[in-house]
């Protein structure tokens, strides 16, 4: 591709990439934040993401409506979350082990049911052309913002507010921080955690529908390339805060666009190294923001990985 | 919210203080009978004390009342009518509340969040401006206060206990169970809190059932007392009719004469020196400053102070849990960073506050926890291969020597009651050569027989030549055990006195922060 922007193409591509790539990661990490704040960890969201992508794509192909696809993706995600939540409510069941099993189940089922939908083309989700003011096609392309990205941003803000200033939000934090305190308060921790996991699953399902219905915008078996797992890790990086999840997802998406952007401006050597940028960046920020004298701040007390 | 469970056709419960009564309450766990045929009555507006040693069944009884356990047999009468309480939610709906021995506050939530969410009618959307205003007003009407914006995990034990009591008052409970509510309060604070609770009883607003070990509090505040021993009710009556001796007799059965261990010898060489040590406190805002603190061999140095004045941080500094920004710590003349090798070399032993959290691996077995000091030692050598049989033999030996009540020595130590965890840790720390012993609130939550025994062991360690640094919020303990008394206030040591010259008034004065 011939570029007439010179080095400006790099930040532009990074911004565009950040907006485009971050949405599924944002949704999965928001869902996982919700689940982890309740004291459970759901590693199965990678499977939920892939299954959500398949279900949304299949629905869109069959019905012709991408939004119906998103809805079905969310519903499937909620069902996966519900299964995880219910199984984990049985005493002495380990949520991490169940999560891994659910991940394999989700991807396996998605591949099985998804075979007939690799060929057909589904309608895309609409995007808002926020780059209308510019004549440059690159700017227009970078600022073509999908509706789900906007919904994700609103969801992050709403979640952050709900955790701070609503009764359900506070109850979720109580359950996530101390089972004993929750019981003493007359709450039912297992039920609340199951609900949180189901809603978290729905978020991941929506993330999946973005993958197959907008970017990359088709259904195939390599569609997620581990983004679901990465998003779960990002929750720790974001210190269980929905707003931080948004920034973390943007950062991760932007860093991921660095490799292709460098390649496009003619850097031919070592750009593969930049494909690792998101991971290196994540590691770097984690180390920089951690403290030797304190435990992970904000970690829910009942979480099995921090207990 | 679902309605309170009442018998069909029954009238609503009367307003004001709620009376409760248990009839033939029995609770069995498998073959073990924790509670047998206990009947007691708390009349509306009275202050009822429940006495008993550790493991006597007091906690089991109140858990049955509050719906945590379902009694194997027996009935519960609330407000004069028989009621089945299926879970703590039902108890809440009947405006019955409890302050637990283990804190039930949510650690990462702030004080304000904890209070608001504990309310059954917490609004769906919380207007923090308005709530904080109301909470401020509530706090202002209380005899003591806790900072509203502080997360609970930054509060010291004493402050948490105050908050637990405040929470019940805030919730408007009409029957309140207090489980050893004053063990972390200073005598003045305890009197203040209980006086306020007592006032609410007299005013007919609440009835109280208080689990306690302190006869003084029973005499000063309670109307009636019930005594449990080994799950059975062994005595009951009006407090006015009973003497301390009679109550003690009921509690322990036969009267035991406690003879204090005579102290002997005089202080020897320096074992612990702190010089110009600086660190930040738990809130990260204030400084802990210890210019000069020394402990000699064969002396007990007591540190008195109101909780939250830096004792917890001092303990953490000495155990290596908190880093220092300046200064030096020396043990037996050598720099000390609290590594395992150093504590082994100098025989430094610890009993920190909340031992389950600070000195145990809660999910490992009692035997394993007791072996923490010795599992990798073979005389003076390191060992690689463990000897489980030897560990087990030693563990069981110590369990019986220190009278740790444990159902399953191979079971997790977290299953033990607080007092028994304390004993298990003491068994580990006081065994073998001890040259420096650093302890914090060693008798927190223990019954008086256990207290006497543990204090005797501490004095015995001193007589055997160990230097002892004792941090305690219990002034009697400090006065009884120490050779030298320091007072800590606002992160500093602001007073020092030899024990024989110490007066309670003077120490209390300095605890309050007056130089």
* B256 in any annotated domain: no
Q: Cβ A185–B323 below 8 Å, yes or no?
A: no
Q: Cβ B100–A181 below 8 Å, yes or no?
A: no
- Asked if A180 and B104 count as a contact pair (C-beta separation under 8 A), the reply is yes
Tell whether B188 lies on the interface with A, counting CB pairs under 8 A.
no
d(CA A70, CA B471): 61
Among A253, A213, A206, residue whose Cα is nearest residue A34: A206
* B211 in any annotated domain: yes
pLDDT score of B254: 52
Q: How confident is the model at residue A53 (pLDDT cuts 50, 70, 90)?
A: very high
Q: Considering only CB atoms, which chain A residues are within 8 Å of B124?
A: 166-168
d(CA B474, CA B185): 8
Res B473 pLDDT > 80: no
d(CA B121, CA B34): 35
Tell whether B325 lies on the interface with A, counting CB pairs under 8 A.
no
Nearest CB to A166; choose among B92, B109, B126: B126
A258 to chain B nearest CA, in Å?
Answer: 38
Q: Considering only CB atoms, which chain A residues are within 8 Å of B86?
A: none
Q: Cβ A186–B125 below 8 Å, yes or no?
A: no
Tell whether B124 lies on the interface with A, counting CB pairs under 8 A.
yes
Residues B220 and B277 placed together within one structural domain of the fold: no
Cis, peptide link before residue A216, omega less than 30° from 0: yes
Q: Cβ B116–A293 below 8 Å, yes or no?
A: no
* B409 in any annotated domain: yes
Residues B309 and B368 placed together within one structural domain of the fold: no
B400 to chain A nearest CA, in Å?
Answer: 31
ipTM above 0.85, yes or no: no
* B138 in any annotated domain: no
d(CA B345, CA B339): 10
Backbone phi and psi for residue A85, each to the nearest 5 degrees, phi listed first = -65, -45
- Mutate which: A176, A182, A186, A241, vs B, most B CBs within 10 A: A186
Q: Considering only CB atoms, which chain B residues are within 8 Å of A293?
A: 322-323
Residues B199 and B293 placed together within one structural domain of the fold: no
CA angle B77, B80, B82 (to 5 degrees): 40
Nearest CB to A174; choose among B68, B106, B127: B106
pLDDT score of B260: 47
- Mutate which: A38, A158, A164, A167, vs B, most B CBs within 10 A: A167
Tell whether B123 lies on the interface with A, counting CB pairs under 8 A.
yes
d(CA A130, CA B422): 65
Boundary of a domain, candidates B251, B277, B293: B251
Give the mean pLDDT of A195-222: 94
Nearest CB to B109; choose among A165, A174, A183: A174
- Asked if B52 and B229 count as a contact pair (C-beta separation under 8 A), the reply is yes
Give the mean pLDDT of A69-97: 94
Q: Cβ B98–A184 below 8 Å, yes or no?
A: yes
For β-strands B232-238 and B270-280, DSSP reports them as unpaired
d(CA B290, CA B489): 11
Res B480 pLDDT > 80: yes
Q: Considering only CB atoms, which chain B residues are within 8 Å of A173?
A: 106, 108-109, 113
CA angle B58, B62, B67 (to 5 degrees): 145
A301 to chain B nearest CA, in Å?
Answer: 8
Q: Could you tell me the two tokens for A281?
A: 């960046």
- Asked if B128 and B181 count as a contact pair (C-beta separation under 8 A), the reply is no
Q: Cβ A293–B322 below 8 Å, yes or no?
A: yes
Interface of A with B (CB under 8 A): 164-168, 170-171, 173-174, 177-178, 180-186, 292-293, 298, 300-301
Nearest CB to A173; choose among B91, B109, B123: B109
- Asked if B293 and B488 count as a contact pair (C-beta separation under 8 A), the reply is no
Residues B341 and B378 placed together within one structural domain of the fold: no
Residue partners of B50: CB distance under 8 A and separation at least 6: B40, B58, B61, B62, B209, B210, B211, B212, B225, B226, B227, B228
Identify the bridge partners of residue B471 per DSSP, sorted by sequence position.
B303, B440
Nearest CB to A166; choose among B89, B92, B125: B125
CA angle A17, A20, A21 (to 5 degrees): 75
Residues B445 and B328 placed together within one structural domain of the fold: yes
Residues B181 and B83 placed together within one structural domain of the fold: yes
Q: Cβ A165–B322 below 8 Å, yes or no?
A: no
3-class secondary structure, A306:
coil
pLDDT score of B512: 61
Q: Is the dihedral of CA B322, B318, B505, B457 positive or negative?
A: positive
Tell whether B402 lies on the interface with A, counting CB pairs under 8 A.
no
For B435, the enclosing helix (H) or strand (E) is: none
Res A25 pLDDT > 90: yes
Q: Considering only CB atoms, which chain A residues are within 8 Å of B125?
A: 165-167
- Residue B347 per-residue DSSP state: T
Residue partners of A270: CB distance under 8 A and separation at least 6: none
* B228 in any annotated domain: yes
Boundary of a domain, candidates B199, B224, B251: B251
CATH of the domain at B208: 3.40.50.300
Residues B288 and B196 placed together within one structural domain of the fold: no
Residues B334 and B377 placed together within one structural domain of the fold: no
Q: Tell me what the pLDDT averaged over chain B comes to.
A: 84
Write out the DSSP string of A35-50: HHHTT---TTHHHHHH
For B230, the enclosing helix (H) or strand (E) is: none
Among B222, B221, B289, B215, residue whose Cα is nearest residue B248: B215
* B88 in any annotated domain: yes
Q: Considering only CB atoms, which chain B residues are within 8 Å of A170?
A: 109, 113, 116-117, 122, 126
d(CA A236, CA A229): 12
Q: Considering only CB atoms, which chain B residues are within 8 Å of A186?
A: 87-89, 91-92, 120
pLDDT score of A1: 42
Boundary of a domain, candidates B200, B218, B251: B251
Q: Is B255 exposed, middle or buried (0-12, 13-18, 19+ CB in 10 A)?
A: exposed
For β-strands B492-498 and B484-489, DSSP reports them as antiparallel
* B383 in any annotated domain: yes
Res B11 pLDDT > 70: no
What angle, 0 to 180 degrees and rounded to 10, lies between the N-to-C axes of helices A167-177 and B111-118?
A: 110
The residue count for chain B: 515
Residues B325 and B390 placed together within one structural domain of the fold: no
B93 to chain A nearest CA, in Å?
Answer: 10
List Cα–Cα distances, A212 to A124, B135, B320, in angstroms: 9, 50, 53
Among A151, A278, A147, A167, residue whose Cα is nearest residue A203: A151
Mark out the alpha helices in chain A (DSSP H runs).
9-37, 45-63, 66-88, 95-114, 137-142, 147-165, 167-177, 179-184, 189-213, 227-237, 242-256, 258-264, 271-275, 277-289
Domains and CATH numbers, chain A: 2-306 (1.10.3470)
- Mutate which: A163, A171, A174, vs B, most B CBs within 10 A: A174
- Residue B110 per-residue DSSP state: B
* Residue located via tokens 């928001």: A30
A243 to chain B nearest CA, in Å?
Answer: 18
Q: How confident is the model at residue B259 (pLDDT cuts 50, 70, 90)?
A: very low
Res B257 pLDDT > 50: no
Q: How confident is the model at residue B298 (pLDDT cuts 50, 70, 90)?
A: very high
Q: Considering only CB atoms, which chain B residues are within 8 Å of A180?
A: 102, 104
Residues B342 and B403 placed together within one structural domain of the fold: no
Nearest CB to B118; choose among A177, A185, A292: A185
For β-strands B232-238 and B224-229, DSSP reports them as antiparallel
B78 to chain A nearest CA, in Å?
Answer: 19
B336 to chain A nearest CA, in Å?
Answer: 19
Residues B241 and B228 placed together within one structural domain of the fold: yes
* Residue located via tokens 């004493």: B158
d(CA B432, CA B435): 10
Tell whether B116 lies on the interface with A, counting CB pairs under 8 A.
yes
Tell whether B105 lies on the interface with A, counting CB pairs under 8 A.
yes
Number of A to B CB contacts under 8 A, please give it: 67
Domain that includes residue B378, residue range = 357-432
Q: Cβ B105–A168 below 8 Å, yes or no?
A: no
Among A136, A144, A187, residue whose Cα is nearest residue B119: A187
- Residue B1 per-residue DSSP state: -
Chain segment B135-181, per-residue pLDDT in tens = 999 888 776 678 899 888 888 766 787 788 788 888 888 899 998 88
Mark out the alpha helices in B98-186 (DSSP H runs).
111-118, 128-140, 157-171
Q: How confident is the model at residue A3 (pLDDT cuts 50, 70, 90)?
A: very low
Q: Could you tell me the two tokens for B324?
A: 């220092």
Q: Considering only CB atoms, which chain B residues are within 8 Å of A165?
A: 125-128
Among A50, A105, A75, residue whose Cα is nearest residue A203: A75
User: How many folded domains does chain B comprise?
Assistant: 3
pLDDT score of A293: 56
pLDDT score of A305: 65
Q: Cβ A181–B105 below 8 Å, yes or no?
A: yes
Q: Which range in A133-147, A187-201, B398-412 is most confidently predicted, on average pLDDT?
A: A187-201
* B373 in any annotated domain: yes
For β-strands B300-304 and B467-471, DSSP reports them as parallel
Chain segment B425-457, per-residue pLDDT in tens = 989 998 888 999 999 988 876 766 778 888 888
In chain B, pLDDT over 90 holds for what percent of residues? 33
pLDDT score of B262: 65
Residues B24 and B100 placed together within one structural domain of the fold: yes
């Amino acid at each position: 591709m011939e570029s007439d922007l010179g080095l400006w193409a790099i930040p532009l591509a990074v911004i565009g990439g950040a907006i485009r790539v971050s949405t599924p990661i944002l949704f999965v990490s928001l869902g996982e934040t919700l689940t982890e704040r309740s004291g459970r960890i759901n590693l199965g969201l990678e499977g939920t993401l892939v299954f959500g992508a398949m279900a949304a794509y299949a629905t869109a192909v069959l019905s012709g409506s991408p939004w119906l696809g998103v809805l079905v993706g969310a519903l499937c995600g909620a069902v996966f979350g519900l299964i995880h939540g219910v199984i984990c409510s049985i005493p002495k069941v380990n949520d991490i082990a169940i999560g891994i099993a659910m991940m394999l189940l989700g991807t396996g089922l998605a591949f099985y049911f998804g075979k007939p939908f690799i060929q057909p083309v589904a309608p895309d989700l609409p995007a808002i052309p926020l780059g209308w003011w510019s004549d440059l096609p690159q700017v227009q392309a970078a600022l073509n913002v999908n509706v789900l990205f906007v919904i994700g941003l609103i969801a992050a803000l709403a979640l952050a507010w709900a955790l701070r200033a609503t009764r359900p939000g506070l109850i979720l934090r109580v359950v996530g921080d101390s089972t004993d305190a929750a019981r003493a308060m007359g709450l039912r921790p297992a039920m609340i955690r199951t609900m949180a996991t189901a809603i978290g699953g729905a978020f991941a399902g929506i993330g999946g529908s973005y993958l197959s219905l907008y970017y990359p915008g088709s259904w195939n078996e390599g569609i997620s390339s581990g983004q679901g797992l990465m998003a779960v890790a990002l929750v720790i990086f974001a210190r269980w805060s929905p707003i931080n999840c948004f920034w973390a997802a943007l950062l991760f998406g932007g860093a991921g666009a660095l490799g292709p952007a460098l390649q496009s401006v003619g850097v031919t050597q070592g750009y593969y190294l930049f494909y690792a940028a998101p991971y290196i960046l994540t590691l770097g920020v984690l180390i920089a923001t951690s403290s030797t004298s304190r435990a992970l701040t904000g970690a829910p007390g009942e979480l099995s990985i921090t207990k | 919210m679902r309605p309170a469970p009442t018998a069909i056709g029954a009238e609503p419960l009367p307003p004001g203080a709620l009376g409760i009564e248990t009839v033939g309450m029995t609770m069995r766990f498998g073959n073990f009978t924790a509670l047998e045929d206990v009947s007691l009555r708390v009349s509306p507006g009275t202050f009822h004390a429940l006495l008993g040693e550790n493991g006597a069944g007091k906690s089991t009884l109140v858990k049955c009342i509050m719906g945590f356990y379902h009694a194997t047999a027996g009935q519960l009468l609330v407000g004069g009518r028989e009621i089945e309480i299926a879970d703590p939610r039902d108890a809440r709906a009947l405006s019955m509340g409890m302050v637990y021995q283990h804190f039930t506050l949510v650690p990462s939530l702030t004080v304000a969040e904890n209070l608001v969410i504990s309310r059954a009618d917490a609004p769906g959307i919380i207007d923090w401006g308005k709530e904080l205003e109301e909470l401020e007003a509530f706090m202002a009407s209380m005899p003591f206060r806790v900072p509203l914006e502080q997360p609970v995990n930054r509060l010291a034990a004493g402050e948490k206990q105050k908050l637990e009591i405040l929470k019940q008052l805030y919730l408007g409970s009409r029957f309140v169970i207090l489980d050893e509510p004053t063990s972390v309060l200073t005598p003045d604070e305890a009197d203040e809190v209980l006086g306020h609770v007592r006032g609410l009883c007299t005013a007919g607003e609440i009835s109280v059932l208080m689990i306690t070990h302190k006869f003084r509090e029973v005499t000063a505040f309670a109307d009636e007392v019930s005594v449990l021993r080994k799950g059975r009710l062994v005595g009951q009556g009006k407090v006015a009719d009973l003497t301390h001796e009679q109550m003690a007799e009921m509690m322990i059965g036969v009267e035991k004469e406690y003879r204090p261990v005579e102290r002997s010898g005089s202080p020897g060489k320096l074992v612990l020196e702190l010089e110009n040590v600086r660190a930040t406190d738990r809130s990260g805002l204030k400084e802990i400053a210890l210019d000069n603190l020394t402990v000699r061999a064969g002396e007990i140095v007591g540190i008195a102070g109101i909780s939250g004045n830096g004792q917890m941080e001092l303990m953490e500094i000495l155990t290596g849990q908190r880093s220092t920004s300046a200064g030096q710590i020396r043990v037996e003349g050598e720099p000390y960073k609290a590594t395992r090798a150093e504590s082994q070399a100098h025989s430094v032993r610890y009993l920190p506050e909340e031992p389950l959290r600070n000195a145990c691996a809660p999910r490992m077995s009692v035997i394993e926890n007791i072996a923490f000091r010795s599992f990798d030692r073979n005389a003076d050598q390191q060992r690689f291969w463990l000897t489980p049989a030897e560990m087990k033999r030693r563990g069981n030996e110590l369990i019986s020597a220190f009278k740790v009540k444990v159902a399953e020595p191979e079971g997790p130590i977290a299953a033990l009651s607080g007092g028994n965890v304390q004993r298990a840790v003491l068994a580990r720390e006081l065994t073998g050569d001890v040259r420096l012993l650093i302890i914090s609130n060693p008798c927190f939550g223990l019954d008086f027989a256990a207290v006497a025994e543990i204090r005797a062991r501490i004095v015995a360690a001193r007589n055997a030549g160990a230097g002892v640094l004792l941090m305690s919020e219990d002034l009697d303990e400090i006065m009884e055990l120490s050779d030298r008394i320091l007072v800590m206030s606002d992160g500093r040591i602001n007073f020092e006195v030899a024990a024989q010259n110490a007066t309670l008034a003077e120490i209390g004065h300095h605890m309050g922060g007056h130089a």
